[in-house]
């Protein structure tokens, strides 16, 4: 089957590429009731609460994605994923990587239902039961829980916070603890989770930091799972550098996974990608992980291709909106919440808030009960997360204001602000 079998209406030429179609005014007037009506997990799991716990955005769909899905449903194109769509995903994902200056060969890009499935294949096929993996903490929660399902031990290594000590920490920066990482490698650990940009601390790694990690990995024969799902969410002054793109050494160490699912809010359509720049991994994948490819959704491949090909302008609208939101988070943390320990994120739409200076041991439960705000309990992100919460701020701006008002009111009522 050739590319000609893919209907023209779902390729770039017929999409809304070039016009943003992101309507910030419409987002601004979106209410909690509207969001509950949409029916997402974020807005239905805890009725009456502001949903700030799960990594989804409240900004609807890029028109090019909505059109592609509608057109595919009309055609009834909902069968198992065919090879031409796998190739389209690879082609469009490779084209998207050029945003980061990376010319990657589409033949090493394979579809997978989601990034976590890619992580599971990495654990099962590369790390293997009986071994261990370094996870810098705080971490995206499944990086701590999933390895255990595969008999892999997790070594939590807390991130360092340079400049820590002052209560506000506004100008602090998160850094890897390279000494502890080297110690773990020297003790026989051969795998590392690199989450860049980092959920939940919003760190965007520099090329130098990644090179240092890569050199350590080379010394101890360590493989790197590089999760780049948040790659497009990088604030001014920072740059996303795909780990595998740096040099031949990083390309051989990396097992990269990415997806359009965060940037276009389509995680339920189940189509992520692995980028296998180590030829042995590609061979291994085709031998032992093709089953994962088969589970990838055709509708997700269609949505993903439309997003990568035609969604850049819409995404710019998203990013402008999120930059306004992060400015509000920064301002709130500087003023009303000045006692909360907080480091400004460099990317993602997630903030890590440490309420321990206020003496609140379980802030997620506190704000759930007293403010009707649903946040992620920091302890799910590792032992360092006691007293902390993970907050998703990719919501309508007025709801974010309300979220902070609710939280501040609860703290004020308890004399904690």
Ligand X SMILES: Cc1ncc(COP(=O)(O)O)c(C=O)c1O
Contacting positions for ligand X (CB under 6 A)? 55, 114-116, 140, 195, 199, 227, 229-230, 259, 261, 267, 272
Report d(CA 89, CA 347) in Å as an integer: 25
In the complex, least distance from residue 144 CB atom to ligand X, rounded to whole angstroms:
12
In the complex, least distance from residue 12 CB atom to ligand X, rounded to whole angstroms:
24
Q: Which is nearer to ligand X, 141 or 371 (CB)?
A: 141
In the complex, least distance from residue 221 CB atom to ligand X, rounded to whole angstroms:
25
Tell me the CB-side half-sphere exposure of residue 162, using CA atoms within 13 A: 7
Report d(CA 319, CA 311) in Å as an integer: 12
Q: Which is nearer to ligand X, 39 or 48 (CB)?
A: 39
In the complex, least distance from residue 261 CB atom to ligand X, rounded to whole angstroms:
5
Question: Cβ of 238: how many Cβ atoms within 10 Å?
Answer: 16
> How far, CA to CA in Å, does 223 sit from each of 170, 245, 279, 351, 354?
34, 15, 14, 28, 31
In the complex, least distance from residue 202 CB atom to ligand X, rounded to whole angstroms:
11
In the complex, least distance from residue 381 CB atom to ligand X, rounded to whole angstroms:
11
In 3-state terms, the chain is what percent helix, strand and coil (to 5)?
50, 15, 35
Contact partners, residue 150, CB within 8 Å, separation at least 6: 120, 123, 124, 127, 129
Q: Which is nearer to ligand X, 16 or 256 (CB)?
A: 256
Q: Which among 261, 279, 285 is positioned nearest to 89, based on CA atoms?
A: 261
Q: Which is nearer to ligand X, 152 or 231 (CB)?
A: 231
Q: Which is nearer to ligand X, 65 or 115 (CB)?
A: 115
In the complex, least distance from residue 404 CB atom to ligand X, rounded to whole angstroms:
22
| Tokens 């939940």 sit on residue | 200
Report d(CA 366, CA 407) in Å as an integer: 9
Task: Give yes or no for a contact between 393 and 350, defined as CB atoms under 8 angstroms apart.
Answer: yes
Q: Which is nearer to ligand X, 259 or 325 (CB)?
A: 259
Q: Which is nearer to ligand X, 55 or 135 (CB)?
A: 55
Paired residues of 341 in beta bridges: 354
In the complex, least distance from residue 368 CB atom to ligand X, rounded to whole angstroms:
20
Length of the chain: 417
Q: Which is nearer to ligand X, 140 or 368 (CB)?
A: 140
Contact partners, residue 53, CB within 8 Å, separation at least 6: 42, 364, 374, 375, 376, 390, 392
* Interaxial angle between packed helices 178-186 and 207-220, expressed in degrees from 0 to 180 and rounded to the nearest 10: 20
């Amino acid at each position: 089957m050739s590319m000609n079998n893919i209907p023209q209406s779902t390729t770039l030429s017929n999409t809304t590429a070039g016009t943003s179609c992101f309507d910030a005014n419409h987002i601004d007037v979106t209410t909690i009731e509207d969001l509950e009506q949409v029916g997402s997990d974020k807005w239905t799991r805890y009725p009456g609460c502001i949903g700030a716990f799960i990594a989804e955005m409240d900004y609807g769909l890029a028109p090019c994605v909505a059109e592609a899905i509608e057109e595919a449903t009309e055609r009834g194109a909902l069968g198992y994923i065919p090879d031409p769509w796998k190739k389209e995903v690879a082609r469009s994902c490779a084209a998207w990587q050029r945003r980061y200056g990376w010319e990657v060969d589409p033949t090493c890009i394979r579809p997978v239902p989601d990034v976590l499935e890619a992580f599971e294949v990495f654990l099962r096929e590369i790390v293997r039961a009986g071994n261990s993996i370094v996870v810098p903490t705080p971490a995206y929660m499944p990086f701590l829980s999933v390895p255990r399902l595969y008999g892999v031990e997790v070594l939590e290594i807390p991130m360092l916070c340079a400049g820590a000590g002052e209560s506000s920490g506004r100008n602090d920066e998160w850094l890897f603890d390279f000494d502890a990482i080297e110690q773990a490698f020297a003790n026989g650990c051969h795998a590392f989770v690199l989450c860049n940009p980092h959920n939940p601390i919003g760190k965007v790694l520099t090329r130098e930091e990644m090179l240092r990690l890569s050199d350590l990995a080379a010394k101890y024969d360590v493989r790197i799972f590089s999760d780049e799902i948040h790659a497009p969410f990088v604030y001014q002054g920072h740059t996303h550098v795909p780990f595998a793109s740096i040099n031949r050494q990083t390309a051989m160490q990396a097992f990269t996974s990415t997806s359009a699912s965060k940037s276009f809010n389509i995680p339920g359509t189940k189509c992520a990608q692995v980028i296998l720049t180590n030829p042995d991994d590609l061979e291994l994948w085709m031998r032992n992980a093709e089953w994962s490819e088969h589970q990838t959704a055709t509708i997700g491949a269609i949505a993903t291709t439309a997003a990568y090909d035609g969604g850049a302008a819409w995404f710019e609208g998203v990013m402008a909106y999120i930059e306004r939101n992060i400015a509000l988070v920064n301002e709130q943390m500087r003023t009303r919440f000045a006692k909360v320990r907080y480091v400004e994120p460099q990317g993602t739409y997630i903030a890590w808030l440490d309420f321990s200076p206020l003496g609140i041991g379980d802030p997620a439960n506190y704000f759930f009960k007293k403010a009707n705000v649903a946040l992620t309990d920091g302890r799910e992100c590792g032992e360092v997360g006691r007293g902390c919460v993970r907050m998703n701020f990719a919501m309508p701006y007025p709801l974010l204001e309300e979220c902070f008002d609710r939280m501040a009111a609860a703290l004020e009522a308890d004399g904690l602000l």
